[in-house]
Amino acid sequence: MKKLLGVLLVCVLIGACSKQTPPPTIVKPNAQSISVYGHWIREFDGSVMQDSQPSGLLSWRDKLISLSDRSAIPEQRLRLHLINPHTAQLDNQGMPLTLADSLATSCFASYLSDNPDLEAIVNDPHDDTVFYMVTEDASYAAVMSPECQAKYRDSGATDYPILLVRLQLTTNNTVLMTHVRPIQYAASMQVGNFPNDGIEALAFGKNRTLYLGLEKDLNKQARIFTLQMDKDFWHSDDFAQVNEPQLKLPHFEHGNHPINGMDYYQNDVGQEFLIASARNDESLWIIDLAGKRDTRIIKMEFYAELNADTDNCQDWEKMDNASIEGVAVMDETLWMVNDPWKEVYKKNIICSQNRPNYEQYSPLLFNVAIEPSWFE
């Protein structure tokens, strides 16, 4: 009896013994709407993760990695969070980020050391101890020296440039920021100066092509750019000039329709795509990298787990908004993490047992089977 009670207690703490297997994916053929089910991400001690503001997701060594933007609570910032996809539970304290000595005199050292706004995370295609991330809002950053301002004043977008940062995993489970390059857009790209609407998605394709997803440009349209990260890429700290592939992205006449996370996918006949999340629209974009097909938009409905039956609530609670900001392909499953949008997240509150989770801006981990029909 004592052994049974012990097992039940573990189940309550980590939510691992019930409702861990969601109902089958529901795809409505006409509207292409998908019902997606998520589990609350939990700390190593079983408590629900608080206000981590995830801004990217990566499949790595059979785990998932997320990182937090600058609006997260202090204990969640400047670290990579390792998530067990099967239990939605974190591994210990994650991997803290620190500035390498090699960047101590960089023009960007002050910003990178002082709660930078981190977005997106990708793994190097040829070295799984190397990662890359990008920064976004630096409107609050300390003013750079006159020399640095002169060198990096022409980003083609924001006054303080967006930074691509190289990370190196060390033997003591710390991650060093070892190299940094600012990103530059041609003036003709008309990106616009929007400090908090910059690059929010990264994905590697073939031949070390890095795809960068921009939230919105001067015309309020999402864009995708590329960088070729060859062996000499980090030998310089000059601007990295992006290119723009000819992709058939959707165009919207009104409103904001950003993409906030993406990953690369190749189907069984070798066709290449990006699977991107459109956070405001609760949708996936299936983007043909050959540039031949229009982007397919797949609507999603999100449900949060309920670990007990209360207030006529059971099993799953339909969400008003999820705000997905990280997607990762692992085999034939798409994993997604949300970035609780503080302005609207409490609109999700229906069932009393999930109220504390929404009030402390706790994130969820979602997964859905990748369907061949998405790429037809």
- Over residues 341-354, the pLDDT tens digits come to 999 999 999 999 99
Q: Where are the alpha helices (DSSP H) in 89-198?
A: 109-113, 146-151
Q: Which pLDDT belongs to residue 32?
A: 58
DSSP category for residue 154: -
Lowest model confidence (mean pLDDT) among 16-20, 248-252, 316-320 = 16-20
With the CA atoms of 367, 369, 374 and 376 taken in that order, what torsion angle do they form, in degrees rounded to the nearest 10?
160
- Judge whether 227 and 210 are in contact, CB under 8 Å: yes
Q: Which helix (H) or strand (E) holds 112?
A: helix 109-113
The DSSP code sequence of 47-80 is PBP-S--EEEEEEETTEEEEEE-TTS-GGGSSEE
pLDDT exceeds cutoff 50 at 10? no
Task: Tell me how far apart the alpha carbons of residues 250 and 247 are, in angstroms, rounded to a whole number.
Answer: 9
Distance CA 211, CA 273 (A): 11
- Give the range among 13-27, 200-214, 219-233, 279-293 with minimum mean pLDDT: 13-27
Which pLDDT score is estimated for 7?
Answer: 37
Output the pLDDT for position 17: 38
DSSP state of 345: G
| Euclidean distance between CA atoms 109 and 99, whole angstroms | 8
- pLDDT grade, residue 307 (50/70/90)? confident
CA Rg value for the chain: 21
Domain 18-375 has CATH 2.115.10: yes
pLDDT at 4 (0 to 100)? 39
- pLDDT class for 238, splitting at 50, 70, 90? very high
Average pLDDT over residues 356-373: 97
The mean pLDDT of 188-216, rounded to a whole number, is: 97
Q: How far apart are CA 372 and CA 334, in angstroms?
A: 12
In this prediction, residues 253-264 reach a mean pLDDT of: 96
Query: CB burial class (10 A; 0-12, 13-18, 19+) of residue 69?
Result: buried
Closest of 117, 76, 69 to residue 96, by C-alpha = 76
Residue 31: the pLDDT is 53
Tell me what pLDDT residue 174 has.
95
- Pseudo-torsion of CA 319, 376, 210, 95, nearest 10°? 40
pLDDT at 8 exceeding the cut of 50 = no
Q: By three-state DSSP, how is residue 234 classified? A: helix
Q: In the chain, what are the domain boundaries?
A: 18-375
pLDDT recorded at residue 16: 39
pLDDT for 254 beyond 60:
yes
183 class by beta-carbon count within 10 Å (0-12 exposed, 13-18 middle, 19+ buried): buried
For the cut 60, the answer to whether the pLDDT of residue 95 exceeds it is yes
Cα–Cα dist 283/299, whole Å: 4
Residue 308's alpha-carbon distances to 12, 20, 50, 263, 266, in angstroms, are: 10, 13, 20, 34, 39
- What is the pLDDT, as a whole number, of residue 28? 40
8 A C-beta contact, residue 152 and residue 107: yes
CA angle 298, 80, 156 (to 5 degrees): 65
Range name among 89-98, 153-162, 228-237, 269-278 with the lowest pLDDT average? 89-98
Beta bridge partners of 126: none
Block residue for tokens 């793994």: 123
Query: 181 with 234: CB under 8 angstroms?
Result: yes
Q: What is the mean pLDDT of the chain?
A: 91
